[in-house]
Amino acid sequence: MPVESPLSHGQLFSWREIERYPEDWLAEANLPATWDLRGLSMGRVRAALERLVERHEALRTTYEPGGIRPVQHVHEDVELPIEWIDRIVTDPSEHERTKAELVALPFAMAGDLNWRGRLVSSGGAPMYLSLTFSHLIVDLWSIHHLQDEFKALTSGTGRPGTTAPALLSPSSPPPPPPRELARRQREAAWRPRQEGAERHWRNVLAEGLTDALPTLPAGVKGERLELTLHSRRLGGLAAEAARAHGVTAPAVVMAFVAAGLARHLGTDRVTMSLMSSNRFAPEDQHLVGTMNQLVPVVTEVDPRATLAEHIRRLHWAGARAYRHGSYDLDRIAEVAEAAGSVPEHGCWVNHLFRAWFNYIQVDRKPSDPADQTPAELAWTPLAQPYGQAFRVRVEVRGGRTGVLMLADPEVLPAPAMVDIMRMIPLGMQLALTDPGRALKDLWGAGEELPPALFPSRLPEPPR
């Protein structure tokens, strides 16, 4: 019989977030991975996968709606949810098509293992393994951790490689599982952290959410525009600006996102919700599960401040907010309701997180600030038609940075989105060359941006 347990704060947050998706968009909760199996035997691959499932409860967990709150069922053992296919592989990009096929298949929120894979071999020799995980059970860090453990297990050494210095040895006891974290989060010792998070939220609610941004009910669609900037130089420039100002690269990017949003909303204060990994405590650094939660930070945007001052203000405001990134979302909804912040549509996720920002370093390859590859700007033909009215997701993969911006066109029309997107690399460039400039100078700056940071020809938005 499976063991039933309450959800951890991260699991509950993921459940509440994903349950608001429209049914035909549930696959947006999926996270893909592809593992190279060339040179391995089928026996070693299977043994390593079985060992991972044995070590990590998240791979043996299903969810049930429960009563008021969902619960998790941890199974003692499960069949590997992997399809085994043997065929001749002639196309070196075949794994990309396989990944796209799998990641497009949604998981049922209840009763499903929430991960699946397809192992492709050729003449009996393993070639690659394409995996898809739901964000209900793991976050991106966990997928990297699983891949590092898989490599260690299949290497025959039983120990991690030098690329993952903090990784536990696969031969050591498994890290604490999510249900153990859920238990700790309900003990008296955790109560001060929850109370701190509640105080933080009361302060945020008192200062005001970004009320100019409308929100949608769960499962309801609305018109959205989605614009993406790709640049190989941008990530390196953010890293250089971060070092120059003693902050982080995500803080630099977010500073100019917040500045652009404030300008086009006509306000001097915005509430940006940041994605917190919640892996700051040593006991949580090796947990395989879903830990991410959004935590809001009220940010002042003073047009008279220098670029250096603005960046540092945003950095420290975000750093303070991260301390409260792990909390019981249902309890925060009660706090918000008591404060008089009640959404008419009942969707607390959309109501509390009206504008959010996330920065993901997908791999360990650094970006080159001298890379002159031309930047690309493109509109998504079909934007995600639900959720928040404004969000920015930055992804750095293979040295290439992608900045994806989604907005409600009634609040931020296409020209405003392009203006904010241009302000991001312009702000970074000036933060390095002229950090004493006033923030307001960005709004009328006529400086030309090099093609590696922003294209000179702008694409037409979808009609």
Averaged confidence pLDDT in the chain: 93
Q: Which fold has domain 215-444?
A: Chloramphenicol Acetyltransferase (3.30.559)
Confidence of residue 445 (pLDDT cuts 50, 70, 90): low
3-163+174-184 belongs to which CATH class?
Answer: alpha beta
**290 contacts 142 by C-beta, under 8 angstroms:** yes
Tell me, letter by letter, the H, E, C secondary structure of 347-369. Answer: CHHHHHCCEEEEEEECCCCCCCC
Q: In terms of pLDDT, which residue wins out, 463 or 338?
A: 338
Q: Is the dihedral of CA 321, 324, 329, 334 positive or negative?
A: negative
pTM (predicted TM-score): 0.93
Q: Is 297 helix (H, G, I), strand (E, B) or coil?
A: strand
The domains spanning 3-163+174-184 and 215-444 adopt the same CATH topology: yes
Confidence of residue 157 (pLDDT cuts 50, 70, 90): low
pLDDT 10s digits, 33-91: 999 999 999 999 999 999 999 999 999 999 999 888 999 999 999 999 999 999 998 88
Task: Please tell me the distance from the alpha carbon of residue 416 to that of residue 143, in angstroms, as a whole number.
Answer: 36
Q: Determine the pLDDT at residue 169.
A: 59
pLDDT 10s digits, 287-307: 999 999 999 999 899 999 999
> Which two structure tokens, joined as six digits, stand for 45?
């691959």
Q: Determine the pLDDT at residue 208.
A: 85
Q: Determine the pLDDT at residue 66.
A: 80
Domain range annotation of the chain: 3-163+174-184, 215-444
Task: Please tell me the distance from the alpha carbon of residue 7 to that of residue 30, in angstroms, as a whole number.
Answer: 19
Tell me, letter by letter, the H, E, C secondary structure of 198-227. Answer: HHHHHHHHHHCCCCCCCCCCCCCCCCCEEE
pLDDT 10s digits, 384-403: 999 999 999 999 999 999 99
Candidates 330, 295, 234; CA nearest to 15 is 330
Distances (CA, A) of 300 to 201, 295, 315, 318: 17, 16, 12, 12
Does 255 have pLDDT greater than 90?
yes
Q: Is the dihedral of CA 77, 79, 80, 86 positive or negative?
A: positive
Candidates 266, 272, 268, 269; CA nearest to 253 is 272
Does 160 have pLDDT greater than 90?
no
Task: Please tell me the distance from the alpha carbon of residue 96 to that of residue 86, in angstroms, as a whole number.
Answer: 17
- Among residues of the chain, what percentage have pLDDT more than 70? 96
Does 165 have pLDDT greater than 80?
no
Does 170 have pLDDT greater than 70?
no
Element (H, E) at 102: helix 94-103
